[in-house]
A and B are shown apart, each in its own frame.
Chain A
């Protein structure tokens, strides 16, 4: 996969590569758990595609489980945005706590 410059591009690239596996296994699982509440926003296509790649570890993941994973991925993207907000970007020199030692 070629390098990508931001999360949106990354997820889109993953989606392009993984959509087939998601679609091909859709409705393959006979015992899907209850559907999420109709008021819940559906997960993004990119997240669904990335979630579907987890079937390489557990081929029995059904569509409802993939949707749950995708919602978590979208939530993670929101966390990521909150950690480096556009209004107050982390700067080049803001170092992480790499070895966590209290001062």
Chain B
């Protein structure tokens, strides 16, 4: 197997290569470290390379494997984390200049669990500053600069888990951990053409992760296939005495022939390529599922609720930063003022958003309870150009129906997977939204979809810092 093939292999294939002694964890780690160093900055994906820790963990994995101890499917597999997770050996910058020298003397629970599973931490990956909590309106919103999709550097990788998505898409890590408050896993997964899994709220401990919104934040895997995201999720899920919201719950049992609802008006304001690829995806799903058209999203004020909650909780989470006046040090112009807007959120509006949320949970159960998944395009457009403010990028395609805000408010899981390409070689994506703690049902559907398609197996032609194709 060539280095390029190894770099883009899935977790199971990488494990087999180690089992068959074709490659050691240390060799694999060095391959990814070298790719991270070469391509990470080109795509705005890297904050800190962690060679010492990575090689130490890889050597341990190799020693244990030689002694007959294999911890599980992630044994010896290199990965990266969004730079909002605490990890010993590197700063934890939260993507923001005011925190660029911040360090923690402990590992986040997710990092600790992955270490226990034998995985190898290679890098802290770039992210939108403060995970986008202050309302950024442009791609250049991280102290490391804009994230760029490996499919076309002139376009944004999406956010806020921008580096996690780009690093997976470019074969710089085998998988990555991202976070989602409202779209931050699914959005970049789509723009970078990879698979992202947003778990149920409470499925994964957030201890050691930057808080943006306590009632919305979730950590989840980003990888090259649905199977890989499930493997990682099973390793990081579960109760944690340091996070009272984290619980142990079964993953759900997939049915033989799933019932899938198509979100009504899902393509009413989508770009042509998004619509075409979505319709083609439905045909694939019909091969193994009962697909029911026009399932309506209950009409409730999702946008107002998620904005109000993010503003209020975000301002509380970053009250020190706001009151210190150091918001001015943030990269994006909008972020320098957005915290002050959040600071003025009325308590009654925040409480009303939480009151509406109860109706949303009940309405979702009534509307979607009879389905294994609800399906819609993840984004209405292709990736945004890096150099154009978001509001000016694709004005024609704004305001369509989306599952991102509603799904996050209700706390249910979703899988985003690539389903084709559009103009400028940019990927499009499909989302499957499920019931609470029903991740295994979603990944089972996604695996069957990916067994019938090849979008997730394609990978981009990378460019070096000098602009040469590689």
Which one of B264-272, B303-311, B461-469 is at the interface? B303-311
In the complex, which of the residues A7, A57, A94 contacts B322, with contact meaning CB atoms closer than 8 Å?
A57
**Which residues in B have their C-beta under 8 angstroms from that of A97?**
215, 354-355, 357-358, 361
Check B349 against A83 for contact (C-beta < 8 Å). Answer: yes
Check B344 against A76 for contact (C-beta < 8 Å). Answer: yes
> With an 8 A cutoff between CB atoms, is A51 at the interface?
yes
Check A79 against B361 for contact (C-beta < 8 Å). Answer: no
Residue among A10, A73, A76 having the largest count of chain B Cβ atoms under 10 Å: A76
> With an 8 A cutoff between CB atoms, is B201 at the interface?
yes
Tell me, in angstroms, the Cα distance from A78 to B310 when the chains sit together.
Answer: 15
Given the known A-B contacts A58-B325, A79-B304, are A10 and B346 also in contact in the complex, defined by CB atoms under 8 Å?
yes
Residue among B215, B245, B322, B356 having the largest count of chain A Cβ atoms under 10 Å: B356
> With an 8 A cutoff between CB atoms, is A21 at the interface?
no
- Looking across the interface, which residue of chain A has its beta carbon closest to that of B356? A83
Tell me, in angstroms, the Cα distance from A82 to B200 when the chains sit together.
Answer: 26
Tell me, in angstroms, the Cα distance from A91 to B305 when the chains sit together.
Answer: 17
> With an 8 A cutoff between CB atoms, is B135 at the interface?
yes
**Which residues in B have their C-beta under 8 angstroms from that of A69?**
337, 340-341, 344
- 1/0 per position for A53-78, CB-CB distance to B under 8 A? 01001111100010011001101101
Check B354 against A7 for contact (C-beta < 8 Å). Answer: no
- What is the distance, in angstroms, from B443's C-beta to the closest C-beta of chain A? 19
Please classify how large the interface on chain A is, using the bins under 10, 10 to 19, 20 to 34, 35 or more: 35 or more
Check B325 against A96 for contact (C-beta < 8 Å). Answer: no
Check B337 against A68 for contact (C-beta < 8 Å). Answer: yes
Check A65 against B336 for contact (C-beta < 8 Å). Answer: yes
**Which residues in B have their C-beta under 8 angstroms from that of A33?**
333
> With an 8 A cutoff between CB atoms, is B371 at the interface?
no
> With an 8 A cutoff between CB atoms, is B324 at the interface?
yes
Tell me, in angstroms, the Cα distance from A79 to B352 when the chains sit together.
Answer: 10
In the complex, which of the residues B135, B308, B343 contacts A54, with contact meaning CB atoms closer than 8 Å?
B343
Check B355 against A51 for contact (C-beta < 8 Å). Answer: no
> With an 8 A cutoff between CB atoms, is B351 at the interface?
yes
Given the known A-B contacts A79-B307, A79-B349, A103-B361, are A90 and B337 also in contact in the complex, defined by CB atoms under 8 Å?
no
Tell me, in angstroms, the Cα distance from A75 to B359 when the chains sit together.
Answer: 23
Given the known A-B contacts A58-B327, A60-B328, are A80 and B436 also in contact in the complex, defined by CB atoms under 8 Å?
no
> With an 8 A cutoff between CB atoms, is B209 at the interface?
no
> With an 8 A cutoff between CB atoms, is B406 at the interface?
no
**Which residues in B have their C-beta under 8 angstroms from that of A68?**
334, 337
- What is the distance, in angstroms, from B313's C-beta to the closest C-beta of chain A? 11
**Which residues in B have their C-beta under 8 angstroms from that of A83?**
301, 304-305, 308, 349, 352-353, 355-356
> With an 8 A cutoff between CB atoms, is B95 at the interface?
no
Check A102 against B200 for contact (C-beta < 8 Å). Answer: yes
- Looking across the interface, which residue of chain B has its beta carbon closest to that of A100? B215
Check B411 against A76 for contact (C-beta < 8 Å). Answer: no
Check A7 against B346 for contact (C-beta < 8 Å). Answer: yes
> With an 8 A cutoff between CB atoms, is B338 at the interface?
yes
Tell me, in angstroms, the Cα distance from A58 to B326 when the chains sit together.
Answer: 8
- What is the distance, in angstroms, from B442's C-beta to the closest C-beta of chain A? 16
Within 8 A of B (CB), among A79-103: 79-80, 82-85, 90, 94-98, 100-103
- Looking across the interface, which residue of chain A has its beta carbon closest to that of B351? A96
Given the known A-B contacts A57-B322, A57-B325, are A90 and B308 also in contact in the complex, defined by CB atoms under 8 Å?
no
Tell me, in angstroms, the Cα distance from A69 to B323 when the chains sit together.
Answer: 15
Tell me, in angstroms, the Cα distance from A98 to B351 when the chains sit together.
Answer: 9
**Which residues in B have their C-beta under 8 angstroms from that of A15?**
none
Check B340 against A57 for contact (C-beta < 8 Å). Answer: yes
In the complex, which of the residues A73, A96, A103 contacts B354, with contact meaning CB atoms closer than 8 Å?
A96
Given the known A-B contacts A79-B349, A94-B355, A97-B361, are A72 and B308 also in contact in the complex, defined by CB atoms under 8 Å?
no
> With an 8 A cutoff between CB atoms, is B345 at the interface?
yes
In the complex, which of the residues A73, A78, A94, A96 contacts B344, with contact meaning CB atoms closer than 8 Å?
A73
In the complex, which of the residues A7, A59, A80, A90 contacts B355, with contact meaning CB atoms closer than 8 Å?
A90
Residue among B307, B340, B351, B355 having the largest count of chain A Cβ atoms under 10 Å: B340
Check A102 against B337 for contact (C-beta < 8 Å). Answer: no
Q: Which residues of A approach B to under 8 Å, CB–CB? A: 7, 10, 33, 50-51, 54, 57-61, 65, 68-69, 72-73, 75-76, 78-80, 82-85, 90, 94-98, 100-103
Sort A-B residue pairs by CB-CB distance and give the 9 closest, nearest first: A72-B341, A96-B354, A58-B325, A80-B349, A79-B304, A82-B304, A83-B352, A54-B340, A100-B215
**Would you list 7 pairs from A and B whose C-beta atoms are within 8 A, ordered by A residue?**
A50-B344, A54-B344, A57-B340, A69-B340, A80-B352, A83-B353, A84-B352
Instruction: Give 7 A-B pairs besides A83-B352, A84-B355, A90-B356 with Cβ atoms closer than 8 angstroms.
Output: A57-B325, A58-B328, A72-B135, A79-B304, A82-B304, A102-B200, A102-B436
